[in-house]
Structure 1
């Protein structure tokens, strides 16, 4: 889902310190580069240390057969569903949990996660009303009519706000299935006034509604190896954890409505006119969008409210949810798209009212096609037969169908911001087919695993749409304002969605930016793209957790990224690397270390400074014998010397001449005369380690670049230095010239050689003498054996 999110206050705060487990907190090193270790869950037979599903991985399944009746006059939706739930887990289940998301629209049934409130500066007349205490029922939310088993026997159930528990007649064991039925209805809310993802929008000018029917039926919760039942309440923010299954959905609506839904419609021949059916078949092989329902037909339908009814039948396989839309206002166009990676022929389609015609007719379906093709390149080939975009003045995603915005002014014109926003939201919402509709993470717990990963891939797709596309999330520089905020306004990415104040930056932008930094700056595109595709392939149609992503990215690339996950995902430290000082040094060819005579005495016996308890006890233990006592051939000169059996005058002085430095000849001096050394001192002021990327500009106008990996900080996480030698003078040094590390303060990223901002010094240059160095050698000194005249 793509939202414009404002700062909200919440009561709960997910502390940083609890996540930042450190073995060495008082040190200047050894914290940021620690392995994540016990922060990550222990690998097991379900999820491996490599990040792949284990050999015993399992997941449950739910198949649905649903009949829905849309009452346009009462704005009520009535439904009847049969659910077949398969227990593939190793556990016996005594009850099952379902989601009743529509209860969030109720004043008395909702989860009731309230926010702090203060006196406003102003209110409109609709907002100003007497506080109702106790709160009155507004008439919204699910009304359960009947809950039975397959034979019609009533089942015991309990509704807890947005969750419903059904108590099973007997335990559901591994490999068994349970079939049950639920009849229900609810009043459809005005989505524009009440908010939320699903509902109706009324167009007062022509008296018609546009329905987006989402989270509309009781849906199975996920039961998993890592969480058990994911039955956290739906508060309107944290989205969904859902199981895969097959759907057959029959939707009864007024006969002049056009319906789009998850999956393929199986009875177009019964619900479309012969002309519309012909256009649909033509669109399947067209390279350009063809209007299946034309603008003229849509305008005509707006004026006639039919009392007749039609039933549209949709089927979808291996999906985690089902959503649909219905209105007589719809223009409908489509075109065929081939996904070459799996040779899948996809029908890309758009539904939109006349108010959006000037934008949607030109861009929507082509943006859908571009999205599924580009995401297929970076993740997995798009597997479904349909991809649809519906203009509904919002942004929300479901399998094979999504709802977006993008309407023109009444005269047909539009702003560039509206156009780019529409294209961006279409790409984002269609992209959600991959994250999390197929790579099915737990959105209720980890919003970033679908929003962040999807926003990142959206950025890659926007870039391939138009190189000048004004992406708001993804580039490193776009996250800086968020990273600058005080720590008490920040949470780690690894926080539950309900507890986040700045939800948009935290769940969407920061993880997307982090992945882009990994791709462009830390890992490189080749390594990153392979690892990201590996993650997508491993967890397609499965339920991944954060550790599965972290481990796979490392496993498939050979890069140790724990420092990055620790800092960017578990921490709130920003990036702020500063150039503190530059020291300039020039060569000194004068030799300052001539040969000299060194006096010394031979080494005394090497003995232990203290006779420790282990040595004493070993001597006292009659069962221990020492090898040098058993084998007399091991008793050499030093055995006797250490025990006083060999005597040497250790006061006698000897001498030898040390090697001096040899001056360079004139030719070599001329070779290095223009060489200059530059020591650059850096401070990690922000706390988050990053590669050090430098651009050198020389006095002759030429430029060079250098990048040191983040590991340069591993021995000192606060300060590092790096020295370069150039045969021409540096004019300036720019740190992070492409703003690719999200550095929050670029004022300390630049150094100019103006003569006042550097320290100057000399470094000696001399000729290297070639000599063999033997480890453990005496370096010319007389050893005790030589002094004693012994060879054994």
Structure 2
């Protein structure tokens, strides 16, 4: 998901016990107005199965080998262990931006105990009123979301289940707040079933629902005739079992919809039919089944997709004729790509298609084959920016530009957003990590892999407006340069493994993108590019369709590379905690070791050597040496040289290399691999030192500043050039107002 700015939050307290605070059992009447909603009363009920903790974050214990049914073999009958299936029929009123839906939800109880209550997400209720967790965090904690588009009185969104039945019997609804959010939050509902679901058995819930889409301010909604329909249907939470993502007993993982959180769900099958006006074009998750049926000014579409954990769609009467492309790759089925775009952004369609094809090739080659037959790309219309940069299985929204000059900033941004949102199809989609609790595994790892792809493409983007180009100023970003700008290198506040809602600030949440990418780039530099890519291929092969945790990623990297020392140190310092890395050259000196004045023994006698006589001796030796060595380089001579380098450390201790280069072209390299706050290294030889460089191979991308990694004793413009590079990176970040995607 694309993010421009983020805000302050402290972790919410304890939950997941035997008792939970809930809202009174009721089915609320549709109420688009904030003022029309009153806070429901609260009661106390005993939960059969507790919630995941309200402050759950990075998992430290690896999952069991058979978690989620064990690794998916290539000959398995289905890609995933399908836990849930949805059959949904929805009708859109595009003038009121209203949905009416009928849904059959069939869920299988994977646990070894009967389940009497299940929990569903009603995500659209985040936009119901200012009492939701989403808006409460924005109001009370100073959080902000992307561009902070404000809602007007008639732009609220909500969802009501008007009928819920199990085998014809009415099911009671009760709103709950698993994260101890405000009692007015209605994004999670508990259903007490008339019939318990026995171990290994399944149950079907018949649900009617009404939904009002909000003005698109965050991830979903409408603007004009454009509709991005996401988080729009009642969606069951995840029942995690012992050995899965750190669980020691069954637990419901069903967090409230926080301002900065995204999603987590079981894999299953979706069969979705949409009824829309006949002049609207539709795009959706999955493959369209049969031909569009049109009658009485309405059209019916049906899309089906198996082995995914979410479903989204779009409808707009202004979409132009879709741009269609194909892609094939080893191990993947033939893929049909559709790009939906409004006329004003036609220039974005072809570059988005090309970036999608390139992404299919890169991700398939470096992680694993793409398993689906479709990709739908949506270019949002003017004034619907908040619909851009959002991901769903086989379906994503990109960025929108009226002009896309080759190698320019707009081309870079369009490529970057397209690559990023496609990449979610792997890290969010196929690997299906928990974006609530461990956003590092999705947003962070995806950002890292996107930058690797851009590094491989090396398209030579120029990060300057036209007037700068005319002046001959055309800065380029170095490897992961943009990520370093947003990675909180000087004042990190949260480990990359922190959850999405319990972070210090909005920018701290935004840093999960750039800081994770920088942490992983740092680790890659030490493990080696080839070893890192091999480890990620094995991680993907082992955990696809299985919901891995951070501990599972850590184990995959450690085992595959054989460098558990490096991997565990990186995770301890930067994932489970946060440590600034700031090593520097504090001082460099290099001086001749000259004869010394004073009293000394000479031929058994005590002799006093005065400074005047000593100076004459030194001068004579210099003259003789220069006559004998007329072509000698500056920095050499008849006397040895003593070079002293002092290094300082602020923050995490990492294995460092110090390289000293001398005037005769030689160099000496030493290791600094202890926890000392400083170290002094002394070198003696026949040549004066020219420079000293920490981290000469640029292994430590987390270092707060690379400018203080070197010292020189001669005039050198490299520092100025490095300043220019950092300024160029910052300039691009400001110009593009992109902290992360």
Decide: shared fold, TM above 0.5. Answer: yes
Partner of 1:443: 435
Distance 1:338 1:188, change over 3 A: same
Superposition pairs of residues 162-561 of structure 1, within 5 angstroms: 162-191=187-216, 195-202=217-224, 209-225=225-241, 226-227=246-247, 228-268=251-291, 308-331=297-320, 332-340=322-330, 342-360=331-349, 362-392=350-380, 393=385, 394-408=388-402, 416-469=408-461, 475=480, 478-479=483-484, 482-486=487-491, 490-500=493-503, 501=505, 502-519=507-524, 521-559=525-563, 560=565, 561=567
Shift of 1:742: 3.0
Shift of 1:428: 0.5
Shift of 1:584: 5.8
Partner of 2:708: 748
Partner of 2:572: 566
CA distance in 2, matches of 1:53, 1:726: 61
Deviations 1:701-740 (A, max 9, x none): x5769585xxx434x3423455668775431122245754
> How many residues were matched structurally?
575
Partner of 2:472: none
Distance 1:118 1:401, change over 3 A: closer
Partner of 2:633: none
Decide whether the 8 Å contact of 1:713 with 1:719 is kept in 2: no
Q: Secondary structure at the match of 1:234?
A: coil
Partner of 2:28: none
CA distance in 2, matches of 1:67, 1:139: 23
Shift of 1:59: 6.9
Partner of 2:114: 92
Distance 1:706 1:264, change over 3 A: farther
Partner of 1:692: 656
Shift of 1:231: 1.6
Partner of 1:771: none
Deviations 1:72-117 (A, max 9, x none): 2322111111111112223332211111000011016623533456
Q: Secondary structure at the match of 1:499?
A: coil
Deviations 1:18-50 (A, max 9, x none): xxxxxxxxxxxxxxxxxxxxx9644564579xx
Shift of 1:468: 2.8
Shift of 1:420: 1.8
Superposition pairs of residues 12-161 of structure 1, within 5 angstroms: 12=11, 41-42=60-61, 45=64, 61-107=83-129, 110-111=132-133, 112-115=135-138, 140-149=157-166, 151-160=167-176, 161=186
Decide whether the 8 Å contact of 1:480 with 1:744 is kept in 2: no
CA distance in 2, matches of 1:99, 1:473: 42
Shift of 1:553: 0.7
Deviations 1:266-310 (A, max 9, x none): 124757xxxxxxxxxxxxxxxxxxxxxxxxxxxxxxxxxx96111
Partner of 1:591: none
CA distance in 1, matches of 2:199, 2:151: 55
Partner of 1:683: 648
Shift of 1:313: 0.9
Q: Secondary structure at the match of 1:434?
A: helix
CA distance in 1, matches of 2:285, 2:390: 13
Distance 1:175 1:265, change over 3 A: same
Distance 1:45 1:737, change over 3 A: closer
Decide whether the 8 Å contact of 1:213 with 1:325 is kept in 2: yes
Decide whether the 8 Å contact of 2:483 with 2:517 is kept in 1: no
RMSD of Structure 2 on Structure 1 (CA): 3.7
Distance 1:476 1:692, change over 3 A: farther
Shift of 1:229: 0.9
Shift of 1:187: 1.7
CA distance in 2, matches of 1:480, 1:186: 41
CA distance in 1, matches of 2:574, 2:393: 30
Deviations 1:651-672 (A, max 9, x none): xxxxxxxxxxxxxxxxxxxxx9
Partner of 2:3: 3
Shift of 1:492: 2.0
Shift of 1:71: 1.1
Q: Find the structure with the greater CA-based Rg.
A: 1
CA distance in 2, matches of 1:201, 1:104: 18
Distance 1:703 1:724, change over 3 A: same
CA distance in 2, matches of 1:103, 1:472: 42
Decide whether the 8 Å contact of 1:476 with 1:742 is kept in 2: no
Deviations 1:604-627 (A, max 9, x none): xxxxxxxxxxxxxxxxxxxxxxxx
Distance 1:79 1:677, change over 3 A: farther
Matched, 1:578 2:584: yes
Decide whether the 8 Å contact of 1:210 with 1:326 is kept in 2: yes
Shift of 1:138: 7.2
Distance 1:237 1:751, change over 3 A: closer
Decide whether the 8 Å contact of 2:405 with 2:411 is kept in 1: no
For structure 1, list consecutive stretches of 5 or more residues without a partner in the other structure: 15-38, 120-125, 130-135, 203-208, 272-305, 589-671, 756-792
CA distance in 1, matches of 2:697, 2:317: 50
Decide whether the 8 Å contact of 2:63 with 2:551 is kept in 1: no
Partner of 1:285: none
